[in-house]
Chains A and B, each alone.
Chain A
């Protein structure tokens, strides 16, 4: 099993450009999440999904959109990138609350994004 994979690994954008980050998981998890990690700050939740076709806002959703058309994929979009969105982005997944390990989040390797 590959676990959680993310593409791309690195990206440089100019202010105002758009891009999509792709997250895929092969563990049949219901829940998926997008976080950002910045120096001196803890991981912050951007958006999440509790199942195929559902999305919801997290702590810092402004400037981002998401879609979960298939259970295994969770896409994060930046419509008009800003320098403040320079960060490392992590995708994660977890089983449903019915699972004994539902609190355990499995993280991808991250995408390092720089917005100039």
Chain B
């Protein structure tokens, strides 16, 4: 069974204090790994897709990296507006009955950046 484990569950940083969020996954034949940002009371917002080990993607203060077993979301010099829950998800070759390839979400890391 596909599994996604995110750590830590919660992270509190001072503004400007860089850190990383971890997403460990178990899936046979990874099709893609996704990062989303979710603000309180809102739906997730897409950030990145990574497809193969060694791949990196960047967006402003965020950088996502991928290995064969985990992904990291590095946050450089975070600002209070980066506070949110960050979700990781993996897509597997297995499909549901209608042909859509299964996506398994983690439970997220809640990031708080203090001014």
Give me the interface of A with B, judged by CB distance under 8 Å.
4, 31, 40-45, 48-50, 54-59, 90, 92, 103-110
Given A56-B96, A57-B96, A58-B96; A40-B107 close (CB under 8 Å): yes
Q: Which of B12-20, B44-52, B59-67, B69-77 touches A?
A: B44-52
Q: B88: shortest Cβ distance to chain A, in Å?
A: 9
Q: A87: shortest Cβ distance to chain B, in Å?
A: 14
4 cross-chain pairs, A with B, having the tightest CB-CB distances, nearest first: A56-B98, A107-B43, A42-B105, A43-B105
User: Out of A50, A90, A104, which one reaches B43, CB within 8 Å?
Assistant: A90
Q: A37: shortest Cβ distance to chain B, in Å?
A: 9
B43:A42 contact, CB within 8 angstroms: no
A107:B44 contact, CB within 8 angstroms: yes
Q: B34: shortest Cβ distance to chain A, in Å?
A: 7
Q: How far is the CA of A55 from the CA of B97 in the complex (A)?
A: 10
A42:B107 contact, CB within 8 angstroms: yes
B107:A106 contact, CB within 8 angstroms: no
User: Out of B4, B44, B100, which one reaches A31, CB within 8 Å?
Assistant: B100
B97:A43 contact, CB within 8 angstroms: no
Q: How far is the CA of A99 from the CA of B20 in the complex (A)?
A: 31
14 pairs of residues in contact across A and B, judged by CB atoms under 8 Å? A42-B89, A42-B106, A43-B44, A44-B105, A45-B96, A48-B96, A50-B98, A58-B96, A59-B102, A92-B43, A104-B46, A104-B49, A107-B45, A108-B43
B43:A109 contact, CB within 8 angstroms: yes
Give the residues in chain A near B91, CB-CB below 8 Å.
Answer: 103
B49:A103 contact, CB within 8 angstroms: yes
